[in-house]
Amino acid sequence: MSWLSRLPIDRFLLAIIAAAALASVFPATGIAVDVVEWATTVAIAALFFLYGARLSPQETLAGLKHWRLHLLILAFTYLVFPLLGLGISTLGAAWLSPSLMAGVLYLTLVPSTVQSSIAFTSVAKGNVAGAVVSASASNILGVFLTPLLCWLLMTSTGKVVFTASTIVDIALQLFLPFILGQLSRPWTAGYVKAHPGLKLFDRGSIVLVVYGAFSAGMRENMWAQTSWSEILILLAICMVILVVMLSLTWWTARRLGFNRADVIAIQFCGTKKSLASGLPMAGVLFVGQPIGLLVLPLMMFHQAQLMACASLASRYAKQPAESGSQVARG
């Protein structure tokens, strides 16, 4: 099975696909529905507590001296991406089912990744310090900005419905645990940093969210609402979004005069969308609504971005430092 480790497929994504497949064959039913929902609620709250305990606001604020780089990355993540998603979801309404098209819009609203953005920037010999600050800031702000953007863009287009209970759930399951995690840092930050195995809990929580989402989808005949042609169209849309953002981040960064290391950080941080944050957020934001198909675009985009950025990072690493003008041209 050593060949499996050489495939450019994220093992975390394989676990998510396995959870979706398991739910499609053996969905939670009866009392298991309540058990999965309760476990998911607790897991999401614990997940965002750990996010708060890990992310250092002091480091983020200290790194803001390179404000042009961070501002540009955040603009791509929370302005350009949403505008692109809104345009595609509006113009392409006839191509996909409402749930899938809502998912396309949703994937453009979630925060950037942290680990992979930093890892690819490091491999490509980019501005790692800038990537750390920007990726961390994206996730800190995303706890608040993603729900706000969903409320502004997805309710106005009729994609989803937000109720008073939704806002309460967001506050209790996302905001409060995250803030408590931030406040607990004097006591918990060292422990969390010293135990990287806690990331297994992170991933296990997200896999549980996926199982619960697809179980609910199966109870609502989710797969009867789509077709293979729609899946292929969705894949094409995800690829278009990725190519547009990879090209736009490079072109804009170069036009604004950033050096090679900064261009790499801007491209890798400004084009990523976090499956780790997006899936549990969806479980809270769209509670009571079918989210199996809604999170499918994010899952597909996640794998596409990993494969594309792994290839780019390897290519950049082989380029001499002075070849900044060649960044992302191919």
List the chain pLDDT tens, one digit each, 330 residues. 444 455 455 676 678 778 888 888 888 888 888 888 888 888 878 877 887 787 676 665 655 567 789 899 999 999 999 999 999 988 877 788 888 888 899 999 998 877 678 778 888 888 877 887 788 788 778 888 888 898 888 875 555 555 566 667 667 777 788 888 888 988 988 888 787 777 777 777 777 877 877 787 777 676 666 778 888 999 999 999 999 999 999 999 999 999 998 999 999 999 999 877 787 888 778 876 667 778 888 888 887 887 788 788 888 888 776 444 444 443
The Cα 265–Cα 118 span in angstroms is 8
How many Å apart are CA 129 and CA 100, to the nearest integer? Answer: 36
Neighbouring residues of 196: CB distance < 8 A, sequence distance ≥ 6:
none
Structure tokens at 64: 């803001």
The alpha-carbon radius of gyration of the chain (Å, integer) is 19
Which residue from 99, 108, 95, 114 is spatially nearest to 217, judged by alpha carbons? 99
**112: its two tokens:** 């950037």
In single-letter form, the type of residue at position 7 comes to: L
DSSP 9: -
HEC string of 266-290?
A: HHHHHCCCCHHHHHHHHHHHCCCCC
What is the reported pLDDT for 326? 45
Residue 196 is predicted with a pLDDT of: 73
DSSP notation for 302-314: HHHHHHHHHHHHH
Q: How far is the C-alpha of 86 from the C-alpha of 105, rounded, in Å?
A: 6
The domain locations on the chain are: 11-322
Distance CA 161, CA 207 (A): 25
Q: Does an H or E element contain 52, and which?
A: helix 31-54
The class level of CATH for 11-322 reads mainly alpha
**Cβ atoms within 10 Å, residue 244:** 15
- The pLDDT of residue 12: 66
pLDDT at 320: 73
Show Cβ contacts of residue 11 under 8 Å, excluding neighbours closer than 6 positions.
Answer: none
Closest CA to 213 of 294, 151, 275, 159: 294
